Amino acid sequence: MNAETILVTGGAGYIGSHVVRQLREAGESVVVLDDLSTGFREAVLDATLVVGQVGDEALVERVLAEHAVGTVMHFAARTIVPESVADPLRYYGNNTAQTRSLLERCVKVGVRHFVFSSTAAVYGIPGDGRVREDSPTQPINPYGSSKLMSEWMLRDLDAIGALRHVVLRYFNVAGSDPQARIGQSTKNATLLFKVACEVALGRRTQLSVFGSDYPTPDGTGVRDYIHVEDLAAAHLQALHYLRRGGASTTLNCGYGHGYSVREVIAAVERAHGAPLAVLEQPRRAGDPPSLVADASRAGEVLGWRPRYDDIDVIARTALAWERRLAAASPS
């Protein structure tokens, strides 16, 4: 166990809570900062929770100092693409301006390491559907732009030796803690696996498939789905990497292969044992036919080795969590 404390912003949310749980299981000292606007107090489990906003400079500075924080893992953000298009200033304020405030506090109190939750949305619509870390960054929505600007701030702080970082660009996160202790609890979520599981359990009436005429094997969009447990493990590997003196870096987090929308639906149907109600609709503007990570550098740099790279495992764990939520709130 390391003597330092790790601050996890947004640690009551879907991905953050899985990282917090793994950190605590590894014996790390963790404090969570979350305003609980989209997160859940019960998802924090046994870590210390401070309720507040990342943009509250006095609060952040006090937490960093009082808990002797050496590393910050920053998850707190708005993440819904259509919402970012409808309300761009909210995303630049929450995702970019508040990250700038957090970074300033980190530099002031001497935080050494920063692990940043970024996104494949920074790539926009790649020509061949497959992206490396050095692929052009051309976001097509304010969500992707807000995250890319935060990456730039980290790059510039590293250039002056103020803070070393690992940026992790997530692809499509799915699944749940295999023991169903925590999971994706956000109401009206748009993640495909979650929506499909809610349809399976009658929590939604049908699943919309946006576009069935893409130039893909079955006509539906292909994405790189990564199990949340594997993604969380990448954060712990990033922490160890920085503690060993690793240089600042940016890494894709995906499996390097994709599944189509129809393949995801089929996997949830297998887990559920019954067909889903599906409605085919026209394509949505801005959706690429395919988006898959070249994630080889994460293995080379961090030693990251996925354990849950199986669409049926993702579907079973996602469905198990939705069944727990349905049992707790039948309505």
Is the Cα dihedral 274, 277, 283, 284 positive or negative? negative
Alpha-carbon Rg for the chain, nearest whole angstrom, is 19
Tokens for 134, please give them. Answer: 């050095």
Q: Are 316 and 264 in contact (CB under 8 A)?
A: no
Q: How many helices (H) and strands (E) does the chain have?
A: 11, 15
Tokens for 151, please give them. Answer: 């990456």
> For the purposes of burial, counting CB atoms within 10 Å of the CB of 106, is it exposed (0-12), middle (13-18) or buried (19 or more)?
buried
Report residue 35: phi and psi, to 5°: -85, 0
CA distance 82 to 161: 36
CA distance 170 to 123: 11
Question: 117 - beta bridge partners?
Answer: 168
Residues 6+ apart with CB under 8 A from 307: 227, 229, 230, 233
CA distance 122 to 7: 25
Q: Are 176 and 183 in contact (CB under 8 A)?
A: yes
Please list the active-site residues. Answer: 143
